[in-house]
Amino acid sequence: MPDTAVQSPATPLTTLSEDEILFRDNVRQFAEEKVRPLAKEMDEKGLFDHALLEQFFQLGLMGIEIPEQFGGAEGKFFDAILAVEELSRADASAGVVVDVQNTLVNNALLRWGNPEQKKRYLPSMVADTVGAYALSEAGSGSDAFALQTRAELKGSEYVLNGRKLWITNGKEAGLFVLFANIDPAAGYKGITAFIVEKGFAGFTVGKKEDKLGIRASSTCELILEDCRVPRENVLGEVGKGYKIAIETLNEGRIGIGAQMLGVARGAWEYAAKYAQERKQFGKVLSEFQGIQFQIAQMATDIEAARLMVYNAARMKDAGVTFVKEAAMAKLFASQVAERVTSLAIEIYGGAGFTKDYPVEKYWRDSKIGKIYEGTSNMQLATIAKLVMGK
């Protein structure tokens, strides 16, 4: 659906540089022409189109912040956020593939990888390797540091045993930033991050979850049975995995905020266009004040979410503390996405409840925003702690 169909809640040009506008518009055009036509089929099949994934690499969307010396675009975190938003406007599954690659995996490698690890892995992250972030387990969701996966040093290798659950990009990924505990008696201070290649002995990708939304995005179980990981594949310091997890997820939450922003925008645009076409009682829906008010409120909420997400991303790039702002952006953007997509269905009426129209998919895709990379309650707990100083 072209942008000219309705007056979309648009980014004020004064907030973006010319380069950022050009980058955003290029991603938007790509999403419109290449991603949107595949969204319905990928959702129904529960599979991400491999050719589309290859195009992500060709366009440089999988290595936005990676330095040029490794083949990356050497862009800003803000650029990654723009890409996630625009892709998610067309399909949330496309958005999260790029989001996890950039805001979690690449960020972790860039911040904590040593020179040898960067030289070995970053070029492939730009060229052809999908990354995944493996923290969650069946018994450690919000309580992420209750993880049970163990790592034992044996000679020049660590031997890992355990299972990971809910791992985004699990099916497509060739590299995993994976967390295990080397000293359970030390609690969270034993948690260590490892760079795990898909081909390592003892590593298996298990079942793919059959999900409500973001169905094309693979969410898989990982099985580690005496998985052998070279000692040099420890990411950062031994026992400091908790720090890597916390700080990386703070950045990832801005990415999820961008994803939810894109989802809300996509649903709003369809609903606003439909309201100008559908007639009831001799008038198009958009002539009824009740519908006008709903569309206006939706647009206002989207703009507020955008400002929060963009502000958090700018703060990250500026090197200032952004933990509170990231939590607020994810919390609010996910709330907005759920409200806007639900209202979009109601504007469509009975038609919106069918799969013949796209808004029901946006609503299904929105629900995950309140759950992954920190539930809404966890965001509220973080915000409360920071604003109350406790």
Same domain as 7, residue 82: yes
Check whether residue 301 and residue 374 sit in a common domain: yes
Instruction: List pLDDT tens digits, range 306-328.
Output: 999 999 999 999 999 999 999 99
Residue 235 is part of a domain; what is its CATH number?
A: 2.40.110.10
Residue ending a domain, choose from 178, 206, 239: 239
The CATH number assigned to the domain holding 82 equals: 1.10.540.10
| Structural domain harbouring 185 | 132-239
Instruction: Give the residue from 239, 255, 285 where a domain finishes.
Output: 239
State yes or no: pLDDT of 3 exceeds 70: no
145 — pLDDT class (breaks 50, 70, 90) = confident
Q: How confident is the model at residue 210 (pLDDT cuts 50, 70, 90)?
A: very high
Q: Are 304 and 376 within one domain?
A: yes
Q: Looking at the predicted structure, is the pLDDT value of residue 126 above 90? A: yes
pLDDT at 142: 83
pTM for this entry? 0.95
Sequence-distant (6+) residues with CB within 8 A of 377 are 142
Asked if the model's pLDDT at residue 2 lies above 80, the reply is: no
85: pLDDT strictly greater than 50: yes
Mean pLDDT, the chain, whole residue set: 95
Query: Domain check: are 121 and 210 in the same one?
Result: no
Do residues 247 and 215 share a domain?
Answer: no
**pLDDT value of residue 8:** 59
Q: Assign 7 a pLDDT band (cuts: 50, 70, 90).
A: low
Domain final residue, candidates 180, 208, 239: 239
288 and 174 in a single domain? The answer is no
248 and 354 part of one domain: yes
Residue 5 predicted with pLDDT over 70:
no
What percent of the chain shows pLDDT beyond 90?
93
- Per residue in 337-375, pLDDT (tens digit) is 999 999 999 999 999 999 999 999 999 999 999 999 999
Give the tens place of pLDDT for each residue, 132-144: 999 999 988 888 7
The residues near 180 (Cβ < 8 Å, ≥ 6 apart) are: 147, 149, 150, 151, 158, 160, 162, 191, 192, 194, 224, 241
* Domain count for the chain: 3
Q: In the predicted model, what is the mean pLDDT of residues 99-118? A: 98
* CATH of residue 336: 1.20.140.10
In terms of domains, do 147 and 226 share one? yes
Is residue 262 within 8 A of residue 88, CB to CB? The reply is: yes
The answer on 258 and 367 residing in a single domain is: yes
- Let me know whether 322 and 186 are in one domain: no
Please write the tens of the pLDDT for every residue from 265-304: 999 999 999 999 988 899 999 999 999 999 999 999 999 9
Same domain, 259 and 228: no
At residue 6, the pLDDT reads 59
Domain shared by 378 and 256, yes or no: yes
Q: Which one of the listed residues 172, 269, 360, 373 is annotated catalytic?
A: 373
Task: Compute the average pLDDT of residues 179-187.
Answer: 95
Q: Give catalytic status of residue 373 as yes or no.
A: yes
Structural tokens at position 265: 């925008």
pLDDT, residue 378, reads 95
Mean pLDDT of 71-81: 98
Of 79-83, 107-111, 240-244, 275-279, give the lowest mean pLDDT range: 275-279
Query: What is the reported pLDDT for 146?
Result: 87
Better-predicted residue by pLDDT, 3 or 96: 96
